[in-house]
Copies of this chain bind each other. A is one copy, B any other.
Amino acid sequence: MTQLMLKPPAILPAPPQVAAHALRGADAGAWRAPMLLDEDWLSAHFGRALRRRHPRGAHLFLEGAETENLYFFLRGWAMKYKSLLDGRRQILDFVLPGEPLGFVAAQRAPYAVEMLCDAETVAVPRRAFDEAFGADPAFARAICRQFEAASARAHDRMTSIGCRSARTRVCRLLAELVERATGAVPAHAPVSIALPLSQRHIADATALRVETVCRALVQLADEGVAVVRRGTLRVPDPAMLAEEA
């Protein structure tokens, strides 16, 4: 009954370049990344599925919360993070349009989720999700696939944080985000994407301090490798950035 709504990102056509807007947050995420789970299909499949809008800074849920829904991102970026007792924060992953969010087994959220810009989601009640998971192997597989991809990203980030220099960690993060946002493998053509992240966010994702991130970004900008300015990331040569990472 379900047509193939699961497209491997790799074979998707490269999306159009997004214009570089000066407004951080407002326009970030307006362009839709490759939609792994089609919205119409979601609506049809989950009768009680609820479409929701979230302002920048809103929490979808906090760490430890009992979540009654799972979510699919239609628009906007979010971050998964853990807070530490000493006030530090580790950003675990980012959520981009087209990606699912939530847990099948865990009762309590192992991390918090906060919107990085105005966003839109489809909330699916756990029960409906469970039914779909059991009834539709293709759906189950797609979810599993997403978990696997998230797991791979977690491993990459762990390796990055554990083994690489500050500069390299920042490069890797930027390269990853460009690749995920554009859905394209790194080429030599210049790319520009809306990046709804402060240096604080980059610092918390790479396990560096803001000052260190700042120094790295200044250096990268000087060298023309990558320029982050006013909510926009410009990369003259993504392949070069990827190589650095």
Contacts and interface: CB of A to CB of B under 8 A. Distances in A.
Interface stretch (A22-30, A154-162, A190-198, A225-233): A154-162
Interface in A133-167: 133-135, 137, 140-141, 143-145, 147-152, 154-155, 157-159, 161-163
B207 A161 contact: yes
A103 interface: yes
Q: How many copies of this kind of chain does the complex include? A: 2
A166 to B, nearest CB: 12
Interface of A is mostly: helix
Contacts of A37: none
B106 A148 contact: yes
Contacts of A140: 133-134, 137, 140, 144
Nearest to A8: B105
Contacts of A143: 144
Given A84-B159, A154-B154, A154-B155, A137 B133 contact: yes
Nearest to A150: B151
What range describes how many residues of A lie at the interface? 35 or more
Nearest to A157: B158
Contacts of A148: 103-106, 147
Nearest to A104: B144
Contacts of A134: 137, 140-141
A92 interface: yes
22 contacts: A82-B155, A82-B159, A84-B163, A88-B163, A90-B162, A90-B163, A92-B155, A92-B159, A103-B148, A104-B148, A105-B145, A133-B137, A133-B141, A134-B141, A135-B137, A140-B140, A144-B147, A154-B155, A154-B158, A157-B158, A161-B161, A163-B207
Interface of A: 80, 82, 84, 88, 90, 92, 103-106, 110-111, 133-135, 137, 140-141, 143-145, 147-152, 154-155, 157-159, 161-163, 207
